[in-house]
Structure 1
């Protein structure tokens, strides 16, 4: 069972997201919070597998709450719930260790897929969010793709295979099964990829996979 904390200051949004999550028998919403400070407190008391976090909340915003959760409860994966126009917040959250980004108005199936992905240790980017963030980084699309391709070219063929699957939101276990490797080997590959590319987390790697044209899920 995947245990989820849901944090959003709008009761109607919480109700809608909860209804989607309740449709999956493998997911249980264990607590709800209306602000960031409450979310951190509830994470500490409930220790959920995943915290779904709105960005704009009172007392403590979602970005600050996410950073605090990653500090005090590293076993809880944080997924940011975003809207169009919040690209700059997504970029900031990348540096704070968020494991995923989903659009509030996105396909309900993406919400379920994203929760499962991050609970399994993967990273998940709504494709629309990925395109927004990539566009924000500046420069023409061709230039970005060329620069990303050059960085990816530094990796071995197997590391590129692993990076592509990180971009597709797969966990280490899923990548191991797909590539017929043991999970420990995949962990070593992921660590090597992040180190060689100078990246802090899987979401940054997933964005690079998108930029380089390696990630194919839509």
Structure 2
């Protein structure tokens, strides 16, 4: 196994931690933020006041460098808000499947959150790289009395190569944060967090130099 891949904890999950419950009917997307080359669309689903989002930007780097940054645990802690713990429970670099534990530290007086996520990495025929994640229950991860366990979560990342040094990055998803969180905090988070995250990512990728050897076999 590659040294960096041994540290993978799939920080891609953090981008979609507070996006609302699963539902069927959705309202039309609204372009909530459009600045510094980053766009964030938000929308709501039927019988749910919490917004969901989709965000995208263009990163001036190679596809391998963008994906490698997302998979680097130590770097992720520098630019993904709220994440305090990321632990791999199991991982298969050949199939791209993994299970990970994540903890989020929220500002007082909100309780911290955690969750167990099952994910899958894949490379589509057109060259796009896709990360798909969803929450699961796992007996290896006990529920802590002082942390709220997130039970409903799904989130995707898509990386599309536009040129030798240009990658389109898209992230979207939702989660039921569970417990007591003011709706105003959640909806503001939905808009601002993906914007801030992508903004930090664009800066962090300038300091990185990941190549094909730094990403799982399934993505080659």
TM-score range, shorter chain: under 0.3
Comparing both structures, which one devotes a greater share of its residues to strand?
2
Q: Which structure: greater helix fraction?
A: 1
Q: More relative contact order in 1 or in 2 (CA 8 Å, sep 6+)?
A: 2
Please give the TM-score of this superposition, normalised by the length of structure 2.
0.26
Q: TM-score, normalised by structure 1?
A: 0.26
